[in-house]
Chain A
Amino acid sequence: MNNEAFDLLMWARGPAFDIAIIIFLGGIVLRVVEILVLGRKKDMAPPKGNPVGQGIRTVFSRTSPPEGLVKFAPITYIGGYIFHIGFFIAFFFFAPHIALFEDAFGISWPGWGRAIIEGATALALLALIALFYTRISDPIRRSLTTFDDYIVLILSALPLITGYVAVNKLFGDPTFMMALHVLSVNALLIAFPFTKLMHAVTFVMARYYNGTIQGRKGAES
């Protein structure tokens, strides 16, 4: 019986993962090219500020919230930060994940302690639940939410849940749970370019464009 779970795990992290990565990378390239080929007309108004400099600055500066706005949407803001940071920590600083990067790219960095990784995972999951809650309870979020938004929430939650369960051997066969974990990551990778997950790449472009438009005018962004 363990053999089937093992075979599934091997398939998930072997051929299935390879296909997922190809779709992930190919899809991202397609989506980015799809955006860039539309181009934009050269702006002929003489600049007052520094469009490019401000564009680059805005990519980073837009990460912090505008003054006084957090209190109007606390769950969205705080939940958003906790989820992104938690997911990032669990993804990049869990020693077995780093080992995968080392296998693939030959680069590695020190992993963080179990307590931090598990804390980050749990917080990220709680944040997702809170974000899900605002999507159904808050009139603004509810009116904007589409099927895509729910898919994205679920796809982001699954690797966190399955990873947590597999590593802590909470229930089920650990090998099978690990196979589910890898499969959920594959699903996330495959969906990435074709859902709102894509914002994780295009936000850089959007913020840059916003910064250049405002920066040309010497206006803040």
Chain B
Amino acid sequence: MTATLERGLNALREQIDAPVASFFSSCVSCGLCAEACLFYRATEDPKYIPIRKVELMRRIWSREFTLLGRIAGMFGLVKNVTDQDLSDWETLVYDSCTMCGRCTLVCPVGNDITMMIRKMREGMSAAGHAPVELIGAAQRHTDGNSPMGDLSKAIQAQVKNAINETGIEIEFDKPGVDYMAILSAQEIAEFPDVLAAMARIFKKAGLTWTIASDAFEATNVGIQLGSRDVARKLVQRVVDAAERLGVKGVISPECGHAYQALRWEGPNLIGRAYNFEVIHIVELLDKLRAEGRLKTKGKNSQRVTFHDPCQINRRGGINKEPRRLLNMFSEDFVETDDAGTFNWCCGGGGGVGANERAEPLRHQAFKMKKVQLDKVEPDVVVTMCAYCHHTLDNVFEEFDMEQEIVGLTELVAEYLDDDDAGSGEKA
């Protein structure tokens, strides 16, 4: 596989569609996207203005997809995109953008700049200008079963632990159950308590579930790297397992881009709708709550705030659900400024967290979130993305912040009312 400039340019050309053309046609370089960008705001360096990050794609569009550009091109008035350009743009496209989507919400003409970054990465990776960590993760995941390497033994061990802890059976590869759960590598390696939490909540709700031994991992580095081939392969793995097991649905875990990959990009990657539904774990919990199948007892008196993962709220539409769940048992739930759709990113999304050279910039960018957290002074920060959790753990340590960080599913399980004989005990 040779990664060449021509391949990169072709990949970029392929990404240019009517929305992209309408976006570039509409940009009046007002620069308001800068004010929405955590990397610009934290550094005030104009090179981080979001729309500048997709400049090379704009040049290709202008040069090849507009009449005037083509004429100007014939007279040599437009610069072609060179390999050096792509190389120069690598850090802008991968290190200083978490694809958080704030710019997309503020652009006065409505440009979805985040989507264009996603597209831009297709060209960058095809031309061989992607961070080595993402390339390595893609290799490990497509060759094996997770971006972190072989986690098949780890998942078996964690499931066994959860069974021992809860006394509830969790069966691998069980056909005909309601849901197939997938987990993020981060959860398996770092936050495995979510398994016991799910087991208890689902048992109480009378919901049956399983884990596929050949498709237990939910992350999809393909959409961070910008490789439809990688992304398609990883989505296909989950789809094959779910359809083989004949489940009603797949539960997307507390992981931002995993939800984005399977729920929104997946059907387009494999070219068809699935034979099952994809539901985010927090959507499912909220649904169970609404149906009276999830009840809590006791109250949490700690000061709790919620960190919205960009890909799940702003880019994923799950906003009220976590708040309804938190309000079931929180006595002191406080929102930060801009909570919900306009929440600031933790700084680790979109592959930035895996990218070592981006670390200093990422720490600087966390400033935006830190100011908000410092203002509400919570005891606990709750989130619904294991990678946000992981990133916050790291930056909290870096900035000597004492707050505890908890995944929402785990917290719900902590307050789960599983005493009364309730709604069916199928599992």
Contact = CB atoms under 8 A, between A and B. Distances in A.
Interface string A20-64: 000000000011001111111101111011000000001100110
Given A40-B17, A58-B110, A205-B18, 17 more contacts: A31-B66, A35-B18, A38-B21, A39-B18, A41-B268, A46-B273, A62-B108, A69-B32, A145-B29, A194-B68, A198-B25, A198-B26, A203-B26, A203-B108, A206-B23, A211-B110, A220-B314
A38 B65 contact: yes
B236 to A, nearest CB: 14
Contacts of B317: 48-49, 214, 217-220
Contact of A66 (B25, B34, B277, B342): B342
Nearest to B113: A210
Given A202-B26, A219-B316, A66 B105 contact: yes
Contact of A210 (B110, B264, B268): B110
What 7 A-B pairs are tightest by C-beta distance, nearest first?
A207-B110, A218-B317, A219-B317, A143-B46, A144-B29, A44-B267, A140-B31
Nearest to A216: B264
A139 interface: yes
B343 to A, nearest CB: 12
Nearest to A48: B317
Contact of B29 (A38, A72, A73, A149): A149
Contacts of B318: 218
B271 A208 contact: no
Contacts, number: 179
Interface residues of A, number: 62
17 contacts: A31-B25, A44-B271, A59-B110, A76-B32, A80-B108, A141-B30, A143-B31, A152-B28, A196-B28, A205-B25, A209-B18, A209-B19, A210-B110, A210-B112, A219-B341, A220-B105, A220-B314
B267 A73 contact: no
B67 interface: yes
A125 interface: no
Contacts of B35: 69, 72-73, 140
Nearest to B46: A143
B111 A210 contact: yes
Interface residues of B, number: 60
A220 B341 contact: yes
A90 interface: no
A30 B67 CA distance: 9
A199 interface: yes
A214 to B, nearest CB: 8
A67 B342 contact: yes
Interface centre among B20, B31, B51, B67 (most CB of A within 10 A): B31
B18 A40 contact: yes
B67 A141 contact: no
A138 B106 contact: no
A15 interface: no
A29 B49 CA distance: 31
A217 B264 contact: yes
Given A34-B66, A73-B35, A196 B109 contact: no
A139 to B, nearest CB: 5
Interface centre among B26, B65, B66 (most CB of A within 10 A): B26
A80 B22 CA distance: 20
A68 B46 CA distance: 21
A213 interface: yes
B107 A199 contact: no
A76 to B, nearest CB: 5
A189 B210 CA distance: 64
A144 B273 CA distance: 41
Contacts of A43: 267-268
Nearest to A213: B112
A199 B27 contact: yes
Contact of A199 (B25, B36, B46): B25
Contacts of A40: 17-19
Contact of B112 (A67, A76, A143, A209): A209
Contacts of B26: 198-199, 202-203, 205-206
B272 interface: yes
A137 interface: no
B16 A209 contact: no
Given A46-B273, A67-B342, A202 B319 contact: no
B168 interface: no
Given A199-B25, A202-B26, A144 B52 contact: yes
A88 to B, nearest CB: 16
Contact of B17 (A38, A58, A76): A38
B22 A35 contact: yes
Nearest to A134: B31
A3 interface: no
Contacts of B147: none
B105 A35 contact: no
A26 to B, nearest CB: 11
Interface string B26-61: 111111101110001000101101011000000000
B275 to A, nearest CB: 12
B31 A73 contact: yes
B419 interface: no
